[in-house]
Amino acid sequence: MIIKNIGCLVTCAGSYPKTKEQLKDAGIIENGYIVIEDNLIVDVGSGDGYKKYLKDDTEVIDAEGKTVTPGLIDSHTHVVYAGSREFELPLKLQKMKYIDILNAGGGILSNVTKTREASKEMLEAETKKRLDLMLAHGTTTVESKSGYALDFENEIKMLEVNKSLNKNHPMDVISTYLGAHAIPKEYKENRDGYIDLMINEVMPYIQEHELADFVDCFCEEGVFSVEEARKILKAGQSLGLKAKIHADEIESIGGAELAGEIKAVSAEHLVGASDQGIKAMADNKVIAVILPTTSFYLMLDTFARARKMIEEGVPVALSTDCNPGTSPTESLQSTMTFACFGLRMMPEEIINGMTINAACAVCREKEIGSIEVGKKADLAIFNAKNLNYLFYHFGVNAVDKVVKDGKIVVQDGKVSY
Ligand code: NIG
Ligand code: FE
């Protein structure tokens, strides 16, 4: 396959976590082309250099001067769940706090009931619809966390849904165990009992059956403390799972500092991250995964301090946090808007944050996240004449086509695989 006549080819070249000035360079090539063989990129250039590859059976796509980026990578989602929480909307608007809704048995716990009840087939069918939406909006790889079941059997069911969709859906699905998303109601008076269950039973099973690459913990005032998060994440690390952490999403309790201390791959949310926490992340090369739609949807007073993190040398990635409570959206294009106007990040920084830096946040930077020779042919073609246009025109799906593993899977913004 050859894609030619690309007005703005955003390569995001360089397979490492981008920081500071590097984030400002999106590796843009004007009048570009991409040559693909099977599922891999074999040449990238500008002008008519593609002509030497033309054969009788070459599929040529004319990008008509549009913008092409690496397939977007959504590096923090809770896309597997049953139930929805529109009933919380009026409560939120009347200023009931997220933590108070959770402690009254709503929030995460209301999806837990529904997710436990759902059969694996139902859960997979529901999730597939959301993955289709993601694909239609330009996402080609998604990290997917468990955490809406909170018992042995059904957390495993969630991770098996990830595994099955990774195999049966065009999307690449990367699995994270987030048993530490809340304390389930049957363990309300026995927190340590639930932590022991995760450490002694669930995680060894996950490791043995290769059901997750990462372990995560919702380290937050009223959920899991820093001490509990340290214990859970270190236990996961000693079993071979890599650590991620929901850190300082609402209150500042030292989650970012913990991420540095245990050398987590990433710390996520970070709205309340302290100066010391940001420094600990920079010193230990922890990726910051920032989720601006969540700050907006929680109606927090502030967004994460992305500019400060970039200044301090933290590699920043951006994600939807797609979930039924705090960010019910499948579109990284929504994240683009809030990253611009909430975080005040520049288009080049944002696109690096949802491609190569996001690939680093899921430890796949050698395979995906940039348009370079040898990488997977995962690409999004947007109806935008340049990168700024993509961010300037908002609230609609700008995707024209998506190429996943060298095949067209989205046409005119609709899934076609
Ligand atoms: O990332 N913080 C924890 N998890 C989700 C929210 C989950 C929910 O409210 O259902 C988040 O915001
Ligand atoms: Fe989250």
Q: Return the number of other C-beta atoms located less than 10 Å from residue 53's C-beta.
A: 16
Is the beta carbon of 326 within 6 A of some atom in ligand 1?
Answer: yes
pLDDT in the model for residue 69:
99
Strands 399-404 and 379-382: antiparallel
- Alpha carbon nearest to ligand 1 atom 8, residue: 325
Helix H, strand E, coil C: the string for 50-93 is HHHHCCCCCCEEECCCCEEEECEEECCCCCCCCCCCCCHHHHHH
Q: Is 326 within any annotated ligand binding site?
A: yes
Q: What is the best residue among 79, 181, 323, 329 to mutate for testing ligand 1's pocket, by most ligand atoms within 8 Å of CB?
A: 323
Q: Is 148 within any annotated ligand binding site?
A: yes
Instruction: Specify the amino acid at residue 100.
Output: D
For the segment 30-84, what is each residue's pLDDT rounded down to a tens digit?
Answer: 999 999 999 999 999 999 999 999 999 999 999 999 999 999 999 999 999 999 9
Which ligand has the nearest atom to the CA of 293? 1
Q: What is the best residue among 326, 329, 335 to mutate for testing ligand 1's pocket, by most ligand atoms within 8 Å of CB?
A: 326
Q: What is the best residue among 218, 248, 251, 297 to mutate for testing ligand 1's pocket, by most ligand atoms within 8 Å of CB?
A: 218
State in Å: Cα 77 to ligand 2 middle. 6
Q: Is 137 within any annotated ligand binding site?
A: no
pLDDT in the model for residue 259:
98
Radius of gyration of the chain (CA): 21
Q: Is 230 within any annotated ligand binding site?
A: no
User: Given the CA of residue 108, which atom of ligand 1 is nearest to it?
Assistant: 10
Q: State the Cα–Cα distance between residues 81 and 330, nearest whole angstrom.
A: 13
User: Given the CA of residue 268, which atom of ligand 1 is nearest to it?
Assistant: 1
Q: What is the best residue among 100, 321, 327 to mutate for testing ligand 1's pocket, by most ligand atoms within 8 Å of CB?
A: 321
- Report residue 64 as tokens: 């008509």
Q: Is 393 within any annotated ligand binding site?
A: no
Is the beta carbon of 325 within 6 A of some atom in ligand 1?
Answer: yes
Is the beta carbon of 107 within 6 A of some atom in ligand 1?
Answer: yes
How far CA 161 is from CA of 139, 336, 345, in Å, comes to: 19, 28, 34
Q: Is 305 within any annotated ligand binding site?
A: no
- Report residue 312 as tokens: 């301090």
- Report residue 53 as tokens: 């590859």
Do the Cβ atoms of 73 and 368 come closer than 8 Å?
yes
Residue with tokens 């920032």: 290
- Run of H or E residues at 290: strand 287-290
pLDDT in the model for residue 103:
83
Q: State the Cα–Cα distance between residues 173 and 169, nearest whole angstrom.
A: 9
Q: State the Cα–Cα distance between residues 221 and 312, nearest whole angstrom.
A: 26
Do the Cβ atoms of 27 and 12 come closer than 8 Å?
yes
pLDDT in the model for residue 167:
98
Which ligand has the nearest atom to the CA of 295? 1
Q: Which of helix, strand or coil describes residue 315?
A: coil
- Run of H or E residues at 392: helix 387-392
Q: Is 269 within any annotated ligand binding site?
A: no
User: Given the CA of residue 220, which atom of ligand 1 is nearest to it?
Assistant: 2
pLDDT in the model for residue 102:
84
Is the beta carbon of 335 within 6 A of some atom in ligand 1?
Answer: no
pLDDT in the model for residue 106:
81
State in Å: Cα 239 to ligand 2 middle. 23
User: Given the CA of residue 269, which atom of ligand 1 is nearest to it?
Assistant: 1
- Report residue 368 as tokens: 């995906």
Nearest alpha carbon to residue 116 among 78, 147, 85: 147
User: Given the CA of residue 81, which atom of ligand 1 is nearest to it?
Assistant: 10
Q: Which residues pair with 28 in a beta bridge?
A: 10
| Residue ranges in the chain modelled with pLDDT below 70 | none
State in Å: Cα 217 to ligand 2 middle. 10
Close Cβ partners of 407 (under 8 Å, ≥ 6 residues apart): 39, 170, 417
Close Cβ partners of 268 (under 8 Å, ≥ 6 residues apart): 76, 216, 244, 245, 246, 247, 249, 288, 289, 290, 291, 319
Which ligand has the nearest atom to the CA of 99? 1
Is the beta carbon of 246 within 6 A of some atom in ligand 1?
Answer: yes
